[in-house]
Amino acid sequence: LSSAYVPAREALDRARKLNTPFTSANILIIGGNGPSGLATIELALLEGANVFTTADERHHEYLTNMGAKCFPIDPNMWLPTLQGKMDVVLDSVCLDGYDSSSLALNSAGTLVCTGMSAVYTQGQIRAYGMRDVRDYKAMYCKMRAKYMLNNTVYYDRTERFNVAPNEYAQHFRYLCHLAAKGSIKPLVCSRSPLNLVASMQKAIEHGDTTYGVCVCTPWTMETDSTRK
């Protein structure tokens, strides 16, 4: 809940108008198959939104069963259909510097940039004689989202927690309440002891994990409790 659902809730709140629910709103979630994407889809559907998402085709069946309308990752495959129609777009991928996500907005829509995984997962970027400039590209994308793109906000979970820890805590309590009622169903795809964290991180980077959050248990070896 803390690592996926609270940031998803806060990202949605960055686009919320007059503190009203997203009932019947068109919401596009770029990269819906990750833990935060899944949490955002679930929370948006809970409010009655029309949810669209992009993901690799192997994830489409699962996401469709959740209630989302799925599109391929490539913006050229979904932008002709969705351009100018979205009330909210949440982009944690930054495949093209947030350009396609911005174009998907309607005139009153809001783009919430929550990350830039594509900057780091597509290999090293060599430029100006430097071996790898991915950190510089990430910095540029963040500044662009903050100061250059219209109707756009950048959400950083750590920055937000430092600014408003009580808000974060209250969202966590509310989401625990929803989970206890069964209104949301957080997924844990695996529990790994400390000595397997590196292997688990590699699996995450290659997309070899199932749906949900990977949890590191505070033990160095697998126990009966971690196998369950």
Scanning the chain, the segments in alpha helix (DSSP H) are 5-14, 35-46, 60-66, 75-82, 99-103, 117-121, 134-147, 157-163, 165-181, 197-205, 224-227
- Tell me what the mean pLDDT of segment 80-91 comes to: 98
Contact 161, 168 (CB under 8 A): yes
Residue 128 pLDDT greater than 80, yes or no: no
Most confident of 122-131, 136-145, 185-194: 136-145
pTM of the model: 0.82
Q: With CA atoms as reference, report the closest residue to 35 among 78, 89, 101, 92.
A: 92
| pLDDT tens readout for residues 1-39 | 888 999 999 999 999 988 899 999 999 999 998 889 999
